[in-house]
Every structure is written in C-alpha cells, then in structure tokens.
Amino acid sequence: MSSSDSKNSRKDFVWKYVIEVSGEQYLRCKFCDQRCTGGVNRLKHHLAGTHHGMKPCNKVSEDARLECKEALANFKDQKTKRNELLQEIGMGPTSMHESALSKTIGTLGSGSGSVSGSGEPIPRGPMDKFTTSQPRQSTLNSKWKQEERKEVCRKIGRFIYSKGLPFNTVNDPYWFPMIDVVANFGPGFKPPSMHELRTWILKEEVNDLSIIMEDHKKAWKQYGCSIMSDGWTDGKSRCLINFLVNSPAGTWFMKSIDASDTIKNGENMFKYLDEVVEEIGEENVVQVITDNASNYMNAGMRLMEKRVDYGGLLVLLIALI
C-alpha cells in the first residue's frame, strides 16, 4: 500500500521541477535550488509566484510558472465545487442536525398518518436532494451555521482571555492562514503538542527564516543596503531602539535594544550603530538613517569619520515624528 501511494504521489507534474537529493526530507526547486518543506502544493505556489507559504522563485521559466498557476487555480475551483456539493447533499457539518430534525418530524408525523407508519424518516440518497424541493433547507443550514460559528468563536475567545493575549492578536498576518488550514483539515485534527512546538516545528520555521535571510544577505552584497534606526517608548516607559536593514529584497528586522539608560549618550549611540554596520559588513552599507537629535548627530559624525578611508559612509539625520 505504501509503495502504491508513493507512486501515485510522484504522478504530479511538479516533480519534473524538483531536484532529488538522497537523504533529504524536503523538496528542492530545480530552478533556484531553494528548499521547500511543505510538499508539492507549496512548491507549486513557489513556482507560480503567489507569495503563499514561501518566497516566489525568481528563476522559474514562464512555461513552468503558468503551468503551476493554472494547476493551483483548477485545484481551488475543484475544491470550491466539492464543498458546494457536500453542502447541497447534506454531508457537511449540518448533517447531524438535519438527521436529528428528520427523526423528530418522522415521530410526530406517525401519529397523524401523514407519513409512513414506521415513524422513521424516509431513507434518502444523495440524488434526492436534487429532485426534492426543500425551500426551508437553506434557512435551517444558515441558522445552524450561525450557532456553530458562535460556539467556535467562544472557544477561541476563551483561549485568548485565559492566556492574556492582546485582542489585536487576530490582526497578525499568520492568524487567518492558521484558521484556514485547520478548517480545511476538517474533523479529527490533532493540534501540535508542546514537544512538537519546541522540536521539529521550531526547527522548520528557523530553517525557513534562515533561507529568507540568506536571500536578503545576497541582496545586501549585490545592491547595497540602508540601515535604519527607530527609537520609541513602550508602555513601560522604556526607550527602545529598533535596527532595520532595507534593500531591494525588502526590510529585515535586525534587533531591538533597551537604551533607557544610554539613549542620551552619543558615545553609546555610536557603539550601537557601529556594531550593526560591522555585523552587516561596511562594504554593503550605503547609508545610515537615524533621528536628528544631538546624540544621533554625534554618533553619525563618528561613523563617517571612522570610515572615511574606506570610501565614506553617508549618515542621514531625519527629524522622526
């Protein structure tokens, strides 16, 4: 059975765009050599350039991109039609409610002789839904779904309240993808254990981030980059400074430090900025963008003086509001 399943999975056309490496547990893109840990479907998104699950391939051929894009569109269309069909024939989550309702109606009707003497609901096949008029069905389904949704929302709310999570957690970009993938899995989903979260799941996420970071580093070397420092005060009145790196590949968050005791010290500000420049590589840094306060001005002047022999470094002092 296992060998047959393996053969069937290899029938997918996307395997012709995969480099197979002995011993590896993931797929590798034939065009850009990037690793994909999410299976053939995620690789299709990678090649189609949908920005779904992983970074798009920048070396894919036009034919391969269109082929994967069309396959994903067809899959989505088939999935939509399947869900509509299941809903229509009563094989969705509402079927248990409808079954109980049918038994109740059958029992009540048996005393009046308006239905079969057995009192049991008349057996229905899938096609009966297409030939029998049921004008109240959509209303019943809608009300049942509303009750189901309320129950799900309460369970989610209870979890958020119990862990003291902020309400804007639901605005996180990873919130809806998580909800969607759980809903698509259907009944019987077993959530990750604490052990899984701290082992293989964490490892795969770190690997994915490492791949993305390597792409940013390549862009820093090829095009150069800008270092941006942004100071702000949090709810505990701490003065925090975020350091970000911007390039054609996008903006990458480097680190955040608590500078509550050193924010007004130009010497320390120079040290913070200089460490970031050294970490990225001064040959890759085109400019440094900071606040125009006196401590930043002092740090900026020292940065430029230190690297005047290398070719110079531009420090932009901007009034950040």
Residue 80 domain-assigned?
yes
Beta bridge partners of 290: 317
Please state the φ and ψ torsions of residue 101, each to the nearest 5 degrees: -65, -40
CA 184/CA 166 separation, integer angstroms? 26
Residue 115 domain-assigned?
no
Strand positions, DSSP E, 39-142: none
Rama region for 311: left / alpha / beta (φ>0; ψ in -120 to 50; rest)? left
Domain boundary among 34, 55, 88: 88
Domain boundary among 37, 71, 88: 88
Domain boundary among 19, 54, 88: 88
Residue 93 domain-assigned?
no
Residue 177 domain-assigned?
no
Beta bridge partners of 230: 242
Residue 41 domain-assigned?
yes
- What is the total count of domains within the chain? 2
Residue 175 domain-assigned?
no
CA 295/CA 313 separation, integer angstroms? 18
Residue 118, pLDDT > 50, answer no
Confidence of residue 280 (pLDDT cuts 50, 70, 90): very high
> Of 19, 24, 62, which is closest to residue 43 (Cα–Cα)?
19
Residue 308 domain-assigned?
yes
Average pLDDT over residues 209-228: 94
pTM above 0.85, yes or no: no
Residue 222 domain-assigned?
yes
In this predicted model, what pLDDT tens digit does every residue of 73-91 receive, in sequence order?
888 777 776 666 666 545 4
CATH number for the domain spanning 259: value is: 3.30.420
In this predicted model, what pLDDT tens digit does every residue of 304-320 receive, in sequence order?
888 765 455 666 655 44
Please state the φ and ψ torsions of residue 53, each to the nearest 5 degrees: 90, -30
| Residue 40 structure tokens | 């053939």
Which residues form the domain of 26?
A: 10-88
User: Looking up tokens 């049921």, which residue turns up?
Assistant: 134
